[in-house]
């Protein structure tokens, strides 16, 4: 993906905070995303090197980049609906705008995940104002409090997912991270924080800031005690797959905990193996790739999401 300095950007940023144009603002997508692609996804091809695996596409201008990213954001909502992550007006996914890192795209309030299209995405300013370049629909107040804080605190992350999934909610009551007791959990080794308090419905900037602080400077995922989960990534694909994976890990952890009895004690993966597994199976490129089958399926079966 190209950095935010690429020209040909039709969005008028005049309504955004003046800080949006500050020199040295972080790009929305890191330019070296594919520098270690083959190493990160460790695929096998032919001897001549002609058999290649798809990777995140690059575009020559911001407009095409934005269009591509919004398609994947809309698809993420459709995928979440299929996973059963919808619940009333709860749940939201945000994506930093590739042309202006201080703005982000998010879903409108009270529109079901299964019905969200590209044109339904709302562009939001740092002040929480709905901007004219996106859908003219209201957004969820708590969603803005959470996502704006994360985007401010973590310029390395371009997308964040939060939903009230059943297993995520169930496991969140323990106020602790998942354990390294199965291979898929290694995606979250030393990469999963816990917000060990319940601050109620997130209605204030202060509570959003506390959640962002709990995520810390390096973790991509966060368990909100008595609430649910948040996952983040450099791409919305990465963040969305991490959410699916974490919810399933919570489910597996609950099953394992329920099965413990004499003779069936849990056995833990060593730190050395967990670190290696996280590096190979939990890296950003691998997480982007892991989401693509979900994207392919939902676009094929529900092409209206691209409208």
What pLDDT, on a 0 to 100 scale, did the predictor assign at position 98? 96
The confidence band for 88, taking pLDDT boundaries of 50, 70 and 90, is confident
18-26: long-range pairs with CB below 8 Å, 24+:
19/102, 19/126, 20/100, 20/101, 20/102, 20/103, 20/126, 25/101, 25/102, 26/101, 26/155, 26/156
What pLDDT, on a 0 to 100 scale, did the predictor assign at position 204? 76
Residue 7 or 269, more confident: 269
What pLDDT, on a 0 to 100 scale, did the predictor assign at position 194? 97
CA separation for the pair 137, 213 (Å, rounded) = 29
pLDDT, the chain, mean: 88
Reference 242, options 8, 15, 80; nearest CA is: 80
25-55: per-residue pLDDT in tens? 333 333 333 347 888 988 888 888 888 898 8
What pLDDT, on a 0 to 100 scale, did the predictor assign at position 36? 79
pTM above 0.85, yes or no: yes
CA separation for the pair 190, 19 (Å, rounded) = 33
Given a cut of 60, whether residue 209 has pLDDT beyond it is yes
Burial class (CB within 10 angstroms; exposed 0-12, middle 13-18, buried 19+) of 170: middle
- What's the topology of domain 62-306? L-fuculose-1-phosphate Aldolase (3.40.225)
CA separation for the pair 30, 152 (Å, rounded) = 16
Given a cut of 50, whether residue 110 has pLDDT beyond it is yes
143-200: per-residue pLDDT in tens? 999 999 999 999 999 999 999 999 999 999 999 999 999 999 999 999 999 999 987 6
Residue 89 or 209, more confident: 209
**Which DSSP string do the residues of 239-293 spell out, in sequence order?**
HHHHHHHHHHHHHHHHHHHHH--TT----PPPHHHHHHHHHHHSSHHHHHHHHHH
Strand order in the sheet with 192-195: 122-124, 104-106, 92-96, 159-163, 228-233, 221-224, 192-195
113-153: per-residue pLDDT in tens? 999 999 999 999 999 999 999 999 999 998 999 999 999 99
Per cent of the chain over pLDDT 90 is 75
CA separation for the pair 165, 26 (Å, rounded) = 32
What pLDDT, on a 0 to 100 scale, did the predictor assign at position 287? 96
CA separation for the pair 283, 162 (Å, rounded) = 20
What pLDDT, on a 0 to 100 scale, did the predictor assign at position 201? 73
CA separation for the pair 5, 16 (Å, rounded) = 17
CA separation for the pair 66, 71 (Å, rounded) = 9
Q: Mean pLDDT lowest for which of 35-39, 79-83, 99-103, 172-176?
A: 35-39
């Amino acid at each position: 993906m190209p950095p935010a300095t690429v020209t040909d950007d039709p969005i008028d940023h005049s309504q955004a905070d003046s800080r949006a144009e500050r020199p040295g603002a972080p790009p929305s997508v890191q330019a070296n995303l594919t520098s270690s692609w083959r190493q990160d996804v460790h695929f096998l091809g032919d001897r001549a090197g002609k058999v290649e695996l798809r990777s995140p596409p690059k575009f020559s201008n911001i407009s095409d980049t934005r269009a591509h990213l919004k398609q994947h954001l809309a698809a993420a909502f459709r995928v979440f609906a299929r996973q059963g992550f919808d619940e009333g007006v709860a749940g939201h996914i945000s994506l930093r705008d590739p042309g202006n890192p201080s703005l982000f795209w998010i879903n409108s309030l009270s529109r079901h995940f299964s019905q969200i299209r590209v044109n339904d995405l709302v562009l939001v300013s740092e002040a929480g104002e709905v901007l004219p370049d996106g859908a003219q629909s209201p957004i969820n107040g708590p969603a803005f409090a959470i996502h704006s804080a994360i985007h401010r605190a973590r310029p390395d992350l371009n997308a964040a997912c939060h939903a009230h999934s059943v297993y995520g909610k169930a496991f969140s009551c323990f106020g602790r991270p998942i354990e390294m007791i199965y291979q898929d959990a290694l995606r979250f080794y030393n990469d999963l924080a816990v917000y060990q308090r319940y601050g109620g419905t997130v209605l204030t900037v202060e509570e959003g800031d506390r959640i962002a602080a709990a995520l810390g400077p390096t973790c991509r995922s966060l368990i909100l005690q008595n609430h649910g989960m948040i996952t983040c990534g450099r791409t919305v694909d990465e963040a969305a797959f991490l959410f699916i994976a974490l919810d399933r890990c919570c489910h597996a952890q609950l099953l394992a905990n329920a099965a413990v009895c004499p003779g069936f004690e849990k056995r833990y993966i060593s730190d050395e193996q967990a670190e290696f597994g996280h590096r190979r199976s939990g890296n950003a490129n691998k997480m982007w790739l892991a989401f693509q089958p979900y994207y392919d399926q939902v676009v094929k079966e529900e092409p209206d999401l691209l409208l």
